[in-house]
Amino acid sequence: MKHLKQFAKHLIRKKLLVGTSSFLIANIIPVLIFLVLCTLLMAVIGALSGSVDHQHNDQDDDGGGGNICSPTGDMNQKEWDSYFKHEDRSGVFKGYGNDIIELSEEKGIDPILFGAIALHETGYGTSSGVVDKNNPGGLMDPATDWQTLQRFPTLKEGLEAMADTLYNRIIVDGLVTIEQLGEVYAPIGAENDPNNLNKHWIPTMKKLTANMGGLTMNCEAEDHVDMDLIGGKSWVSPYTKTITSGFGYRSGCGNCTTFHAGIDIASAGIRNTPIVSFSDGKVTISESSGTTFDSTLENMGKGYGWYIEVDHGNGIKTRYAHMDKKGIPVGSEVKAGDVIGHVGSTGASTAPHLHFEILMEGEKVDPMPHVKSFLTGEK
């Protein structure tokens, strides 16, 4: 009887093993094969989308702005909406088109370029990085020593961080062309690109930006910004000639001064763009007056904020206020059109703009007669 029981146990174990093997073959192994194939597919997609795993989050960088992007045309809103109002073309970015535009204006970068990179780097808004971590720019997490993707509470915050990074790459580092950006986002010969798929990044980006209506800004090194001189004088903002507030008494502007002693120059995207000297001279003041935080209508600062005064001789001086930070130092010799600082919103300011004053023998005068030729084209 003992031998019969042992033989019966042996048969049961053998049957269980056979049954288990059959179950594995029929159910588990196909699932494992499927998972392996999915992993390989995601690796290929990641390679096609560029080297997003190597983007550091530069949102705290403070480079000061060494380059400038100037408008060259209007955005094709119809083409833009054809992407960002349709989930099948933008995934999780559907409905975020205006956010990308606003962030681009704030940073002074091309919204078409911003949108195209966001779409391309995330497989048109479908990658796990943007879906699960609200990370549209492949930004790495400093908390993990840049080893894993950073997670953002909301997609809006992820876009804000990406805008900061693009600002630093384009405006600060001077990567002003798609080719130059490609060296960062998809470097050819990178270790994580054994199949050389990064070579497709630049042509794909050019095609995508064209399909979205074309780039709307021309970016170039700030040292190469050419200013037209009239009578040895220069317009003070290479970015815009829009005057939002004139010289004289005013009302209805909240906590602003009743008498406006200069002109305000502003337009969307002017933040961090260059301010240039009106004429040849020497910097006599480069400091802050009032507050230096980023002032808004809801949280208004005081005074000029960061500002510069240039002495042009013969009793003529000019002032440039509300700069984003301290400008070039006192004692600097400047020529008309030389960059002396960058537009900000420090001091008593509702939004980024340049407040420009002209002083003659210590008295503030209306700048308009002196800059009219730049606005009308008459010499």
Q: Indicate the pTM of the whole model.
A: 0.52
Chain segment 157-196, per-residue pLDDT in tens: 999 999 999 988 888 777 888 998 988 888 888 888 888 9
Separation CA 38–CA 31 (nearest Å): 11
Chain segment 47-101, per-residue pLDDT in tens: 334 333 345 554 444 434 457 777 888 999 999 999 999 999 999 999 999 999 9
Q: How far is CA 332 from CA 44, 131, 321, 356, in A?
A: 54, 50, 17, 19
The string of DSSP codes covering 30-90 is HHHHHHHHHHHHHHHHHHHT--GGGEE--TT------EEEEE-S---HHHHHHHHT-HHHH
**Structure confidence at residue 108 (pLDDT):** 87
| CA gyration radius, the chain | 29
**Structure confidence at residue 4 (pLDDT):** 42
Q: What is the CATH number of domain 228-376?
A: 2.70.70.10
Q: Which residues of the chain have pLDDT under 70?
A: 1-66, 221-226, 251-257, 378-379
What are the residues facing 71 on neighbouring strands? 217
**Structure confidence at residue 28 (pLDDT):** 53
Tokens of 105: 């204006």
Domains of the chain, by residue range, sit at: 47-222, 228-376
What are the residues facing 229 on neighbouring strands? 234
Tell me the one-letter amino acid at 341: G
Separation CA 5–CA 319 (nearest Å): 104
**Structure confidence at residue 328 (pLDDT):** 86
Residue 231 near residue 336, CB atoms below 8 Å: no
